[in-house]
Amino acid sequence: MHSFGYRANALLTLAITLLALMCAMASFSDNINSPSPSAHVQVLNINWFQKQPNGNDEVSMTMNISADLQSLFTWNTKQVFVFLAAEYETPKNSLNQISLWDGIIPSKEHAKFWIHTSNKYRFIDQGRNLRGKEFNLTMHWHVMPKTGKMSEDKIVMPGYRLPEEYR
């Protein structure tokens, strides 16, 4: 009952159990945080808006994106992955979500930002539905913990509209 094997086994089991418990507690502490984020996007310019050779609409735009996500960070936060998606409906699709820009926020200091950028990823429709299309710009964020459960949320900013004609 007191051999090395038994003792090593008991020690290892205890260690793993304690580590798992600490991880669960760390993850649980994230629930206590009540965040109050804010975001704002301004579409400055539609750079171009064309019908591709394969028949799908594509648009390129320049935007000012600003947000304050500092309140999302806790001691157990490793990073926050933030992205801006254009969301709209078409006759064929009840939902289209296209990520236009994304970034990784490594710490609380970087979580309040303002950037001026054109869309990082191509905004291409499945079809030719974008002329005059009303769309939402939704800022999504995923909080990745140092250990435990990931969480996500978003702010929907409605009221954007694409031009009636290609240009």
Partner 1 sequence: MAWILMKALTLGMIIGSALIIWKALMCMSGSESPVVVVVSGSMEPAFKRGDILFLYMSKDPIRAGHILVFNVDGRDIPLVHRVIEVHERQDTGEVDILTKGDSNLLDDRVLYAQDQLWLQRHHIMGRAIGFLPYAGWVTIILTEKPIIKYVLIGALGLLMII
| Shortest CB 92 distance to partner 1, Å | 6
Q: Which is nearer to partner 1, 64 or 97 (CB)?
A: 97
| Shortest CB 104 distance to partner 1, Å | 7
Q: Which is nearer to partner 1, 70 or 119 (CB)?
A: 119
| Shortest CB 40 distance to partner 1, Å | 19
Q: Which is nearer to partner 1, 13 or 93 (CB)?
A: 93
| Contact footprint for partner 1 (CB under 8 A) | 23, 27, 78-79, 81, 83, 85, 91-99, 102, 104, 106, 121, 126, 140, 142, 144, 146-150, 152
Which residues does 123 contact at the CB level (< 8 Å), separation at least 6? Answer: 58, 59, 60, 61, 86, 98, 100
Q: And the tokens for 124?
A: 């291409």
| Shortest CB 45 distance to partner 1, Å | 23
Burial of 149 (0-12, 13-18, 19+ CB in 10 A): middle
Q: Phi and psi at residue 111, in whole multiples of 5°?
A: -85, -5
Dist CA 113 CA 66 (whole Å): 6
Tell me, what DSSP letter sits at residue 131? T
Is the alpha carbon torsion for 70, 75, 76, 77 positive or negative? positive
Q: Which is nearer to partner 1, 27 or 62 (CB)?
A: 27
